[in-house]
Amino acid sequence: MDANSEIRLGLVCPALANKIRTLAETLAGESIHLRATQGVRSWSQQEATYQQGRTTPGPIVTNAPPGHSWHEFGLAVDVAPFDAQDVVDWNVSHPAWRRIIEIGESLGLFSGDEFCHFKDDPHFQLTGRFPVSPTDEARQLLTDKGMEAVWTEAGL
C-alpha cells in the first residue's frame, strides 16, 4: 500500500487495517494495486459527504448522516484500484472491482456492495458484535470513551 494509504490505515481499528493490508497483498499477487481512499471521517466530514448531491453539488455518495457511518468510529475503509500511472480507476464495472469485493468478503469484511439501498463499492467495514449500521450504544460509547473503547466493545 502507498504512504497515503498507510496514513489512513494508521487511524482505523488495527484489526481492520490488518485485513485491508492482507487484501492489498493478496490482490497485488494478481497485479491489482489497491489504495485506501478513505478511513476515519470526523462528524463534520461525514456531514459534508452526506450533503453532497443534496444541498451541495455532486452526486449522492452516501445515505449515512453524521453518526451513522462506521467511518466515524474507525471501523470502515474505502479502497480503490489504481494503475501504473498512479491514477485511481473509478470504473466500477472493471473486473478488478468485483475481485476486490470477493477477496475482501473472504477475509471477513462486510462490503458496501451488500448495502440494500445504496451500493458502496468498495467500502469495507469490520464491526465485530455491532450491526451493519452504528447504534445509539456505539455513538454513546464513542462520545463517552472514544474510538478505542468502541473497538474493544466490538470485540476487535
pLDDT at residue 53 in the model:
96
pLDDT in tens, 6-33: 999 999 999 999 999 999 999 999 999 9
% of residues, the chain, pLDDT over 70:
100
**CA nearest neighbour of 150 among 38, 77, 66, 75:** 75
State the fold for domain 3-154: Muramoyl-pentapeptide Carboxypeptidase; domain 2 (3.30.1380)
Q: Are 9 and 20 in contact (CB under 8 A)?
A: yes
CA–CA dist 95, 101 (Å, integer): 10
pTM flag (> 0.85): yes
Domains of the chain by residue range: 3-154
Asked if 145 contacts 9 with a C-beta cutoff of 8 angstroms, the reply is no
Quote the Cα angle for 11-16-17, to 5°.
55
Is the model's pLDDT at 1 over the cut of 90? no
Rounded to 10 degrees, the C-alpha dihedral 69/73/79/85 comes to 120
DSSP state of 58: S
Per-residue pLDDT of 120-148, as tens digits, reads 778 999 999 999 999 999 999 999 999 99
What pLDDT sits at residue 121? 76
* SS3 assignment, position 41: coil
Residue 86 predicted with pLDDT over 90: no
How far apart CA 79 and CA 143 sit, in angstroms, is: 27
Model confidence at 118, in pLDDT bands (50, 70, 90)? confident
